[in-house]
């Protein structure tokens, strides 16, 4: 479908649902990659049209406003011609039910960890008053802020080596009314000693360096710092495993997403007793391991989180 055909279809479309269908057809005709907040053309088109309308619930069932056609066309064209993720075009992303402001200084939020956080880490962990969580490599702040929102009793810290990312994360904290709940720290993985955490969570870079050039064009718009995991995709993961026992409280657990590097991880750490988490809404490559198992890999999987299942 050509852009002029989309324009004609939009101007003939009587309602916004029809607009969504037409934009989705336009996306489908151009072999886009979906994976930055949506996984299909229909959801991406819905996101675009709803965002143009300012997420206004009123009027969604009313006749479509022709004055909005140019903006819809502008975004649809940019999505196809630039292969830029919709989240960057709109400057927003949704994660764990929360809206985050983002740009290409941070990755687009899209981790299956959102499902775990929405359940406040149940059934794997039961949060108790005074428990602390550390989000390592926070980026937009999505994991840390979602944890603070969905688990009100948690005390949350978050680190990042990128000052630009921390600027965005702090801005999101202000917008979401969570600035007093999350402390953001400029650090290379872990903060200075002084606190122990019941949960350390991280979605580190895990794409092997050699694979970066093979990724769909959409990924080229994201910061390489958040994607490049080194030769096997495990450079940062190895540091997390080595250093986290120092920062975990007794009985605490480390939860890490390694995504497509799961096979490489299993090959590199065949004896490490991790638990691979499953998600109802899809997603894989997330493991949990207790502090005790990190210190003494020979003992069976355990730790406070695992005991609470």
Residue ending a domain, among 90, 109, 138, is 90
State which of 40, 71, 90 marks the end of a domain.
90
Is 227 in the same domain as 288?
yes
86/113 same-domain check: no
What percentage of the chain reaches a pLDDT higher than 70?
96
State which residues form the domain around 133.
95-307
Whether residues 111 and 157 fall in one domain:
yes
Which pLDDT value is given to residue 305?
Answer: 56
Q: How confident is the model at residue 283 (pLDDT cuts 50, 70, 90)?
A: confident
Supply the CATH number for residue 140's domain. Answer: 3.40.50.150
Higher pLDDT, 41 or 303: 41
| pLDDT tier, 308 (very low <50, low <70, confident <90, very high otherwise) | very low
Whole-angstrom CA distances from 169 to 63, 88, 145, 158, 227 are: 38, 15, 9, 9, 18
Distances in Å between the Cα of 68 and the Cα atoms of 21, 63, 71, 123 are: 16, 12, 6, 45
Average pLDDT, the chain: 93
If asked whether residues 21 and 153 sit together in one domain, one would say: no
- pLDDT at residue 194 in the model: 76
Q: Do 176 and 41 fall within a single domain?
A: no
The yes-or-no verdict on residue 18 having pLDDT over 50 is yes
Q: Are residues 141 and 61 in the same domain?
A: no
Residue 131 CA to chain centroid, in angstroms? 23
3-state secondary structure (DSSP) of residue 218: helix
Q: In the structure, what pLDDT confidence band is assigned to residue 13 with cuts at 50, 70 and 90?
A: confident
Each residue of 182-207: pLDDT tens digit?
A: 999 999 999 988 789 999 999 999 99
Confidence of residue 297 (pLDDT cuts 50, 70, 90): low
pLDDT, tens digit (0-9, with 9 covering 90-100), for 24-39: 999 999 999 999 999 9
Angle at the Cα of 303 (from 298 to 304), degrees rounded to 5? 175
Residue 246 phi, psi (nearest 5): -65, -25
Domain boundary (53, 69, 90) is at: 90
273-278, long-range: CB < 8 A, 24+ apart: 273/297, 273/299, 273/300, 273/301, 274/301, 275/124, 275/301, 275/306, 277/116, 277/124
238 and 215 belong to one structural domain:
yes
Same domain, 12 and 132: no
pLDDT of residue 41: 98
- What is the arithmetic mean of pLDDT over 276-304? 79
Q: Is the pLDDT of residue 309 over 50?
A: no
The two beta strands, 132-136 and 197-202, are parallel
Q: What is the pLDDT of residue 61?
A: 82
Span 48-59, pLDDT tens digits:
999 999 877 777
pLDDT of 59 reads: 74
Model confidence band, residue 298 (pLDDT cutoffs 50, 70, 90): low
Q: Domain check: are 148 and 262 in the same one?
A: yes
Residues 1-10, mean pLDDT to the nearest whole number: 94
**Do the beta carbons of residue 253 and residue 199 sit within 8 Å?**
yes
- The span from the CA of 110 to the CA of 35, in Å, is 8
The residue among 112, 107, 92 whose CA lies nearest residue 139 is 107
pTM across the whole model: 0.92
Regarding whether 267 and 182 lie in a shared domain, the answer is yes
299 pLDDT higher than 70: no
170 and 222 share one domain: yes
Q: Are residues 67 and 101 in the same domain?
A: no
Query: Tokens standing for 82?
Result: 């630039």
**Per the structure, how many domains does the chain have?**
2
């Amino acid at each position: 479908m050509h852009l002029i055909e989309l324009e004609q279809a939009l101007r003939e479309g009587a309602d916004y649902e029809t607009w969504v269908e037409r934009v989705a057809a336009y996306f489908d005709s151009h072999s886009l990659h979906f994976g930055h907040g949506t996984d299909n053309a229909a959801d991406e088109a819905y996101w675009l049209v709803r965002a143009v309308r300012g997420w206004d619930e009123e009027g969604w069932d009313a006749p479509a406003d022709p004055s909005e056609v140019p903006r819809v066309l502008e975004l649809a064209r940019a999505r196809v011609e630039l292969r830029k993720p919709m989240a960057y075009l709109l400057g927003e992303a949704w994660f764990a039910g929360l809206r985050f402001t983002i740009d290409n200084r941070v990755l687009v939020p899209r981790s299956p960890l959102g499902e775990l956080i929405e359940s406040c880490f149940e059934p794997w962990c039961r949060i108790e008053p005074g428990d602390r969580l550390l989000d390592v490599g926070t980026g937009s702040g999505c994991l840390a802020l979602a944890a603070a929102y969905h688990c009100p009793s948690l005390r949350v810290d978050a680190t990042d080596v990128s000052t630009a990312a921390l600027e965005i994360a702090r801005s999101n904290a202000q917008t979401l009314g969570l600035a007093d709940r999350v402390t953001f720290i400029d650090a290379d993985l872990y903060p200075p000693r002084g606190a122990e955490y019941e949960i350390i969570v991280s979605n580190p870079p895990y794409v092997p360096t050699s694979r970066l050039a093979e990724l769909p064009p959409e990924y080229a718009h994201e910061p390489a710092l958040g994607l490049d995991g080194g030769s096997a995709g495990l450079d940062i993961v190895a540091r997390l495993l080595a250093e986290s026992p120092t920062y975990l409280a007794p009985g605490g657990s480390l939860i890490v997403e390694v995504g497509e590097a799961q096979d490489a991880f299993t090959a590199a750490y065949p004896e490490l007793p991790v638990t691979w988490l499953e998600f109802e809404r899809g997603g894989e490559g997330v493991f949990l391991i207790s502090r005790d198992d990190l210190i003494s890999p020979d003992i069976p999987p355990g730790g406070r989180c695992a005991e609470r299942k």
